[in-house]
Amino acid sequence: MKNNSLSINKLLEEFSEFVADADIKSARILSNISVAIFKKRMEMNMSQKAFAEYMDVSQSMISKWESGTYNFTIDTLIRICSKLDLNFDVRIGKSEITPFRNFISNQWSIQGSIGSKNIPERVIA
């Protein structure tokens, strides 16, 4: 029987050809923001509807915020963080993130199942 499965390494290499490192960083940051907002809403024990009223926005806006794809403005982030008593910190400097392509080519090659392999928990260096 012929094995048609790609190695995880090859699959991720193929994927990385179509996704810029900047897009990967952006997605990670948006995801972190969304998770922070969601966690805060859960800590406050609020539904999206109640949270929307508290934040003075629509429920659909809360859904967008928590989706991980909403492109926040800095002004919006500052307002959200202020209202939720969250820290908003921007650091601009030399990147400490390992480019995705380098990570893929340097870290591991996995054939077939990944269940028994030691896979790094984080892509960020």
Whether residue 2 is predicted with pLDDT greater than 80 in this model: the reply is no
**Amino acid residing at 116:** S
Give yes or no for a contact between 97 and 25, defined as CB atoms under 8 angstroms apart: yes
Query: DSSP 3-state assignment of 7?
Result: coil
- CATH for the stretch 20-92: 1.10.260.40
Query: CB burial class (10 A; 0-12, 13-18, 19+) of residue 81?
Result: middle
The residue written with tokens 């995880």 in the block is: 8
The vertex-29 CA angle with 61 and 99, nearest 5°, equals 150
Structural domain spans, the chain: 20-92
pLDDT of residue 38: 96
Evaluate if residue 102 carries a pLDDT over 70. no
